[in-house]
Amino acid sequence: MAIAAPRILCPDMDSDTTKKWIFREPLRTDGDDVYALITECPPLDINSSYCNFLQATHFSKTCVLAEKDGDLAGFISGYQKPDEPNTLFIWQVAVSPRYRGKGLAFSMLATLLERKNLLHIEFIETTITKENNASWSLFKKIDAQYGNQGQITTFLDKESHFKGKHDTEYLYRIPLKSSQK
């Protein structure tokens, strides 16, 4: 029987401004703003704005949006894998350049994992290209919170899957629960 490991603790963000941060599910009306944010965040792939509207509606329960003083500061998109409902796949993590270096991505992911509808999640997965240092740093920090048990494998290879048009995507799978009593 799996038992829960301690959930992620948010780092101390600037205490004077913590009250101004809002972490919430996205709404249909956020789709275009999410699209604009992602365009500001290379190396993230820019999907259609329609995709971001779907994330803000169909997948709102597994996404989180961060605002500060009414400004969209960050967005994490994710979904539960259809064949593994205990696994939350994190699709994209976007933080506006204006808010980087404050631990916002970590806090958004921690907030997402604390949602009542996601407390059963036992694994998080994401894919990361070799050069995306911000994502590596974020997910290694998450992995460290859970005992450095994550595994990294090749998910989509640059040559055999992308035919040289996109960098290799590495799958990072992090267990969030222990199988020990």
The CA-atom distances, in angstroms, between 98 and each of 39, 67, 85, 156 are 14, 12, 35, 31
Average pLDDT over residues 30-37: 95
Q: How high is the pLDDT of residue 178?
A: 57
Peptide bond into 6 cis (omega under 30): no
* Model confidence pLDDT, tens digit, residues 115-136: 999 999 999 999 999 999 999 9
Q: pLDDT (tens digit, 9 = 90+) per residue, 2-27? A: 333 334 444 445 544 455 899 999 99
The residue assigned the tokens 């894998």 is: 81
- How far is the C-alpha of 123 from the C-alpha of 105, rounded, in Å? 18
Q: Is 18 exposed, middle or buried (0-12, 13-18, 19+ CB in 10 A)?
A: exposed
Provide mean pLDDT across the span 44-50: 90
Residue type, 69: D
Alpha-carbon gap, residue 149 to 83, rounded angstroms: 22
Query: What tens digit of pLDDT does each residue of 59-87 get?
Result: 999 999 999 999 999 999 999 999 999 99
